[in-house]
Amino acid sequence: MKRKTLILGLLSILCAWPAAAQRPVYQDPSQPIEKRVDDALSRMTTAEKIGIIHAQSKFSSAGVPRLGLPELWMTDGPHGIRPEVLWDEWDQAGWSNDSCTAFPALTCLAATWNPEMSALYGRSIGEEALYRGKDVLLGPGVNIYRTPLNGRNFEYMGEDPYLASRMVVPYVKGVQQNGVAACVKHFALNNQEAFRHQYNARLDDRALYEIYLPAFRAAVVEGEAWSIMPAYNLYGREHLAESKRLLGDVLRDEWKFDGVTISDWGAVHSTRRTVTQGVDMEFGTATDGLSAGTKNAYDSYYLAQPYLKLINEGVFGTKELDEKARRVLRLMFRTALKPDKPMGSMNSPEHSKAAHDIAVQGIVLLKNDRAVLPIDLGKRPTILVVGENAIKMMTVGGGSSSLKARYEISPLDGLKARVGTRGTVNYVRGYVGDVGGSYNGVSSGQDLNESRTPEQLRTEAVEAAAKADYVVFVGGLNKSDHQDCEGADRLALGLPYGQDELIAALAKANPNLVVVNISGNAVAMPWVKEVPAIVQGWYLGSETGHALATVLTGDVDPSGRLPFTFPVSLNDVGAHRLGEYPGNAAQLEAMKQAGHQADTIDVRYNEGIFVGYRFADKERVAPLFPFGHGLTYTTFGYSKPTVDKAVMTADGTLDVSLTVTNTGKRAGEEVVQLYISDKKSSLPRPVKELKGFRKVRLAPGESKEVRFTVDREALSYFDDRAHQWVAEPGEFEALIGASATDIRGKVKFSLR
């Protein structure tokens, strides 16, 4: 019996052996990805290759069912997973389980100056994308803050290329550890929404390489991002989805990017250019080339039947198609076909905590005269909250980043919950901004309609303010058109809806006024000298109210720092004083006279490398609040910085060290910033440039050593004549500061 069983077992193994031996390489997860890609590609027809390089629905591309190759599913980010839409419509799909955790906008993440928070952010949002079955997260965004009028600045990481570089890498790695691709956007020079499909960015290579490319390069080279999304605008008179210079020469050749380039929705304009020098995957064209908005037009996309037709006619071979399909297959094996993927998670307590902690660390205390903050709950105060933004949901709106959040705690509700019985919290509206509360089929459910006049609302607020112990005004911008919103830039630097007049009146009525500015952009503050306490609150996501209350009441010491400069006026911004915005004046006038929009409009970046604090330093302009600025409820002392060697060799490094001490009475976090100054160079250089930072937590009286390593890269500039980075021998200075204008110590060294 045993012998018979053994024989039958051997026969079953022998019968199964041919099947096992014939298992395709591409189906074997133990094989290297490149072998699997080669094998899958060899089995595909030309039509199947065409099928995987363009959309089949609003947010998916086709797989190859015959080979078991899956669809790829995209989702908008970068601060929450977008709700589901219908297959061929922007309308909501009507799911009851597609709400998400709303994480703070990326300006807030950058304001944490904490790469650990960035890693937590990426990991958490990646888990939510994974749980929802998404393969590609369309984010993060790392375009440089060139003008405070850009409606999409809230989705980006500030004005400084070094800060953005250090913050984007952990985000990308955090997302991709889940088997979800980060799609870094918008590559590149997407610095305004005005004429975003038409403007041609004109700038020199120094500005391109020193200011606008470093964060993208870091995401690709260090973060190993699996996908990139080109911008809508043009560079070198080419749409960036079809840019040989940036997609080919820079991204593929210089940075050795092996991932997929994915078009923004409607960013492709030509079959022939896209085949030879453009994106790998085309999404959202929504046209057959003749009529806009055609439904089920996916086969008419530039990289669909028109491309196949050109191949069949012999205009193109399959070389370019194979390269694109190969990269898409590589993305499949990294994401949808990644073995042993976890399940992910959605709306978990851990994600709520992550959203809360990131928000708290990003809130910036801009001003705190007379120590008005933190609010002293020991005295059981009466607190008056004023302003529409204290109650208005901010997760809905703003463009493609609009969310269907599972919950959102308003500033008013957060403060009420924190104060509880230890005080009284009252509310008056004060002003009316945007009473709408819906976007793309998602509604906040709020009725913000108001019948009273602005004068009545202001009078009510001022009278109530005079009777309160504290007044907390929560205002700023919102996510409506011409505020912080995709598709349209702001119209002015000032606050809308008569807020400036209201704030000035409140300051006269109550000496303990706190202004909380909710925005993703800098705003003018003509009342800055009259208001004792100012807080930059950003768009903080689901945990907005709890996070703000935590900081306002002193449960946590504020530790955020500005990722961009707050100018006094637009004339203090290089793009406005020296450059062109929103476009060439003569071309704009010609367009106006003709009554139509031109195909392209030039925007000259005449300020070059002098963006943000670099411009302020060069022109000796005093900002309203400088880059890197942020106060705490404690104080910190800095020792004199030292270097471990006076002379650094071209292939070596040196260390800059100092000791930071908490000289106050409560625990807090300080952001120590290292700037490098080149004292003499062949080409013009900024007065100083950020090249290092550390966020240090200290108990009262505690001291810690902070050490920065300076290498050749930190001393280099881009020589556009030689097209290479140059670290020029000479004298340098390391500056240690608490902001771009608060330098606490300097030490000289030289490069030989």
| Structural domain contains residue 563 | no
Domain check: are 458 and 539 in the same one? yes
> Residue 748 pairs with which residues in a beta bridge?
733
Residue 227 near residue 175, CB atoms below 8 Å: no
Domain check: are 195 and 317 in the same one? yes
- Cα–Cα dist 109/111, whole Å: 5
Domain count, the chain: 4
Residue 53: name the closest of 332, 274, 303 by CA: 303
| Structural domain contains residue 729 | yes
pLDDT band at 288, cuts 50/70/90?
A: very low
CB atoms within 10 A of CB 151: 27
> Residue 514 pairs with which residues in a beta bridge?
472, 533
Residue 673 near residue 738, CB atoms below 8 Å: yes
Residue type for position 615: F
Report the percent of the chain where pLDDT is more than 70. Answer: 96
Mean pLDDT of all residues belonging to the chain: 95
| Structural domain contains residue 374 | yes
Evaluate if residue 289 carries a pLDDT over 90.
no
Residues whose CB falls within 8 Å of the CB of residue 37, separated by 6 or more in sequence, listed in order: 26, 326, 329, 330, 333
Domain check: are 149 and 203 in the same one? yes
- Per DSSP, the three-state class of 543 is helix
- Per DSSP, the three-state class of 90 is coil
**Quick one: tokens of 251?**
């991204």
| Structural domain contains residue 349 | no
**Residue 579 pLDDT:** 96
Evaluate if residue 335 carries a pLDDT over 70.
yes
Q: Where does a domain end: 552, 587, 603?
A: 552
Per-residue pLDDT, averaged over 115-126, amounts to 98
Evaluate if residue 718 carries a pLDDT over 90.
yes
138 backbone dihedrals φ, ψ, rounded to 5°: -80, 75
Residue 506 near residue 386, CB atoms below 8 Å: yes
pTM, rounded to two decimals:
0.96
Catalytic member of 76, 135, 160, 264:
264
Residue 387: name the closest of 468, 448, 467 by CA: 448
CATH of residue 390: 3.40.50.1700
Per-residue pLDDT, averaged over 706-724, amounts to 97
Catalytic residue list contains 678: no
Domain check: are 457 and 583 in the same one? no
At 236-250, the pLDDT tens digits run 999 999 999 999 999
Q: What is the dihedral of CA 181, 187, 190, 196, to 10 degrees?
A: -90
Domain check: are 277 and 197 in the same one? yes
Domain check: are 178 and 326 in the same one? yes
Domain check: are 21 and 64 in the same one? yes
Q: Where does a domain end: 272, 302, 334?
A: 334
Domain span at residue 161 reads 2-89+98-334
| Structural domain contains residue 60 | yes
Q: Beta 743-751 vs 730-737: how paired, if at all?
A: antiparallel
Residues whose CB falls within 8 Å of the CB of residue 309, separated by 6 or more in sequence, listed in order: none
Domain check: are 579 and 541 in the same one? no
- Cα–Cα dist 120/308, whole Å: 43
| Structural domain contains residue 535 | yes
CATH of residue 152: 3.20.20.300
- 């349209």: which residue's tokens? 488
- Cα–Cα dist 486/402, whole Å: 10
DSSP 2: H
At 471-530, the pLDDT tens digits run 999 999 999 999 999 999 999 999 999 999 999 999 999 999 999 999 999 999 999 999
- Per DSSP, the three-state class of 207 is helix
**Residue 291 pLDDT:** 55
DSSP assignment string, 244-271: IIIIIIIIIIIT---SEEB--TT----H
Residue 629 near residue 227, CB atoms below 8 Å: no
* Helix ranges, 52-112 (H): 106-111
- Per DSSP, the three-state class of 3 is helix
**Quick one: tokens of 344?**
């992910």
Query: Buried (b) or exposed (e) across 479-493, using 16+ Cβ within 10 A?
Result: bbbbbbbbebbbeeb
Residues whose CB falls within 8 Å of the CB of residue 23, separated by 6 or more in sequence, listed in order: none
Residues, the chain:
752
Domain check: are 456 and 363 in the same one? yes
Q: Beta 181-187 vs 136-138: how paired, if at all?
A: parallel
DSSP assignment string, 626-681: -TT--B-SS-EEEPPPEES-SEE-TT--EEEEEEEEE-SSS-EEEEEEEEEEESS-
**Residue 329 pLDDT:** 98
Domain check: are 530 and 646 in the same one? no
| Structural domain contains residue 562 | no
- Per DSSP, the three-state class of 606 is coil
| Structural domain contains residue 220 | yes
DSSP assignment string, 157-211: --S-HHHHHHHHHHHHHHHHTTT-EEEEEEETT---STTTTTEEEE--HHHIIII
Domain check: are 606 and 642 in the same one? no
Q: What is the dihedral of CA 173, 177, 180, 185, to 10 degrees?
A: 0
Q: Where does a domain end: 561, 589, 619?
A: 619
Domain check: are 542 and 580 in the same one? no
pLDDT band at 2, cuts 50/70/90?
A: very low
At 167-181, the pLDDT tens digits run 999 999 999 999 999
Evaluate if residue 402 carries a pLDDT over 60.
yes
**Quick one: tokens of 337?**
């076909």
- Per DSSP, the three-state class of 336 is coil
- 């390089």: which residue's tokens? 53
